[in-house]
Structure 1
Amino acid sequence: MDAVVNRVSINVGALELRSISTLDVAVVSLTVWALFKLIKATRRQGVKTTRLRGPPNESIVFGNGRVLDKSPDSAEIYEQWAEEYGAAYKVPSALGKSRIVLCDPKAISHYYPRETSIYILTPVSRNAIERLAGRGLLWSHGESHKRQRKSLTPGFSNTAIRRLTSVFFDSAYKAKTAWDAILESNPGGSAVIDVQNWMNHISIDTIGIAGFSHDFGSLEGKRSAVVDAFEELNSAKPSILSTFFFLLAPMFPWLIKLPNSRGMIVRKLNRAMGEISKVLLERSRQEIQGGASESDQDKSIIGLLIKSEDENSALHVTPEEVMAQMKLLLIAGYETTSISLTWALIELSYNQEAQRRLREELQQFSTNDPNWEQLNNGLPYLDGVVQETLRLHPPITESTRLAAEDDVIPLSVPVQTASGEVVDRLTIAKDTILTIPIRCVNRSVDFWGPDAKEFNPDRWIDDGKISGKAKDLQGHRHLLTFADGPRTCLGKGFALAEFKAVLSVLIRSFAFELRDGPDTKIERARGLLPRPRVAGEQGCRVPLLVRRVE
Structure 2
Amino acid sequence: MALTPSQLVLVSVVLWVGWRFVRHLTKKNIWDNVPGPIPHSFFTGDLEQLFHRHEGWGYMKRLEEIASVVHLRGLLGARIHVSFRNQSALRLPRFSSPLTGYKFQGAQHRRQRKVLNTVFSTENMRKMTPMFYELSRKLRCSLSELVKSSSKEIDVVHWMGRAALEFVAQGGMGHSFDSLQPYDEDKHVVGKAMKTLGPLLFALHFWRLASEFLQELGPPNFRRKLADLLVSVFPDKNLGRMRDVIDTLDDAARTIYNERLVSIAKQNDGLEERSEGTDVLSMLLKANERSGEGEGLSEAEILAQMSTMLFAGTDTTSNALGRILQALAEHPDVQSKVRDELKSARDYRGQDIPYDELVGLPLLDAACRETLRLYSPITVVPRQTITDIVLPLEKPICGVDGNMISELPIPKGTLLMPSYLSCNTSKAIWGDDASEWRPQRWLSPLPATVLQARIPGVYSNLMTFGGGPRSCIGFRFSQLEMKVVLSVLLEHFSFSLTGRKIFWNLSGISYPTMDESSIEPSLYLKVEALDA
TM-score (norm 1): 0.82
**Residue of structure 1 equivalent to 2:4:** none
- Seen in structure 2, the aligned counterparts of structure 1 residues 402 and 312 have a Cα distance that, compared at 3 Å, is closer
456, 474, 480: which one aligns with 2:438: 456
SS of the equivalent of 1:505 reads: helix
Q: Which letter does structure 2 place at the counterpart of 1:421? A: N
- Seen in structure 2, the aligned counterparts of structure 1 residues 272 and 60 have a Cα distance that, compared at 3 Å, is same
165, 173, 176: which one aligns with 1:215: 176
Shift of 1:427: 1.3
254, 263, 276: which one aligns with 1:297: 276
TM-score (norm 2): 0.84
**Residue of structure 1 equivalent to 2:340:** 360
**Residue of structure 1 equivalent to 2:163:** 202
- Seen in structure 2, the aligned counterparts of structure 1 residues 470 and 282 have a Cα distance that, compared at 3 Å, is farther
Contact 1:201 1:219 in 2 (8 A): yes
500, 511, 528: which one aligns with 1:547: 528
Contact 1:524 1:533 in 2 (8 A): yes
Contact 2:429 2:450 in 1 (8 A): yes
**Residue of structure 2 equivalent to 1:436:** 418
Does residue 151 (structure 1) correspond to residue 115 (structure 2)? The answer is yes
**Structure 1 unaligned residues grouped into runs of 5+:** 1-28
Contact 2:52 2:506 in 1 (8 A): no
- Seen in structure 2, the aligned counterparts of structure 1 residues 439 and 74 have a Cα distance that, compared at 3 Å, is farther
SS of the equivalent of 1:481 reads: strand
Aligned-residue Cα RMSD (Å) equals 3.1
Contact 1:346 1:514 in 2 (8 A): yes
Shift of 1:491: 0.7
Shift of 1:295: 7.8
- Seen in structure 2, the aligned counterparts of structure 1 residues 228 and 78 have a Cα distance that, compared at 3 Å, is closer
**Residue of structure 2 equivalent to 1:17:** none
Shift of 1:278: 2.9
SS of the equivalent of 2:413 reads: coil
Matches within 5 A, 1:5-24: none
Shift of 1:164: 0.3
- Distance (Å, rounded) in 2 between the aligned partners of 1:179 and 1:428: 52
Contact 2:89 2:385 in 1 (8 A): no
SS of the equivalent of 1:72 reads: coil
- Distance (Å, rounded) in 2 between the aligned partners of 1:327 and 1:246: 18
**Residue of structure 1 equivalent to 2:40:** 58
**Residue of structure 2 equivalent to 1:488:** 471
- Distance (Å, rounded) in 1 between the aligned partners of 2:53 and 2:188: 36
- Seen in structure 2, the aligned counterparts of structure 1 residues 451 and 294 have a Cα distance that, compared at 3 Å, is farther
Q: Which letter does structure 1 place at the counterpart of 2:124? A: A
- Distance (Å, rounded) in 2 between the aligned partners of 1:155 and 1:288: 22
Q: Which letter does structure 2 place at the counterpart of 1:480? A: M
- Seen in structure 2, the aligned counterparts of structure 1 residues 267 and 33 have a Cα distance that, compared at 3 Å, is closer
Q: Which letter does structure 2 place at the counterpart of 1:493? A: R
Does residue 388 (structure 1) correspond to residue 370 (structure 2)? The answer is yes
- Distance (Å, rounded) in 2 between the aligned partners of 1:233 and 1:399: 17
Does residue 177 (structure 1) correspond to residue 160 (structure 2)? The answer is no
Shift of 1:297: 2.4
Q: Deviations over 1:451-478 (max 9, x none)?
A: 2222111111113347447742121111
- Seen in structure 2, the aligned counterparts of structure 1 residues 466 and 73 have a Cα distance that, compared at 3 Å, is farther
- Seen in structure 2, the aligned counterparts of structure 1 residues 76 and 284 have a Cα distance that, compared at 3 Å, is farther
**Structure 2 unaligned residues grouped into runs of 5+:** 1-11, 216-222, 232-238
- Distance (Å, rounded) in 2 between the aligned partners of 1:150 and 1:292: 32
**Residue of structure 2 equivalent to 1:533:** 513
118, 122, 133: which one aligns with 2:100: 133
Contact 1:232 1:265 in 2 (8 A): no
Contact 2:319 2:377 in 1 (8 A): yes
- Distance (Å, rounded) in 2 between the aligned partners of 1:327 and 1:345: 28
- Distance (Å, rounded) in 2 between the aligned partners of 1:471 and 1:262: 42
- Distance (Å, rounded) in 2 between the aligned partners of 1:165 and 1:491: 14
Contact 2:51 2:506 in 1 (8 A): no
Matches within 5 A, 1:14-413: 36-38=19-21, 40-41=23-24, 44-46=27-29, 48-49=30-31, 51-70=33-52, 72=54, 74-84=56-66, 86-104=67-85, 107-108=86-87, 110-112=88-90, 114-115=91-92, 119-121=93-95, 126=96, 129=98, 132-133=99-100, 135=102, 139-184=103-148, 189-220=150-181, 221=184, 223-233=187-197, 245-246=207-208, 248-250=210-212, 258-259=230-231, 260-286=239-265, 289-290=268-269, 296-310=275-289, 312-313=291-292, 315-364=295-344, 365-366=346-347, 367-377=350-360, 379-413=361-395
- Seen in structure 2, the aligned counterparts of structure 1 residues 80 and 447 have a Cα distance that, compared at 3 Å, is farther
Contact 1:133 1:270 in 2 (8 A): no
**Residue of structure 2 equivalent to 1:6:** none
Shift of 1:433: 1.4
Q: Which letter does structure 1 place at the counterpart of 2:302? A: V
- Distance (Å, rounded) in 1 between the aligned partners of 2:136 and 2:493: 12
* Percent of pairs with identical residues: 26
Q: Deviations over 1:486-522 (max 9, x none)?
A: 11111111111111111111111110011126xx333
SS of the equivalent of 2:526 reads: strand
SS of the equivalent of 2:180 reads: helix
**Residue of structure 1 equivalent to 2:219:** none
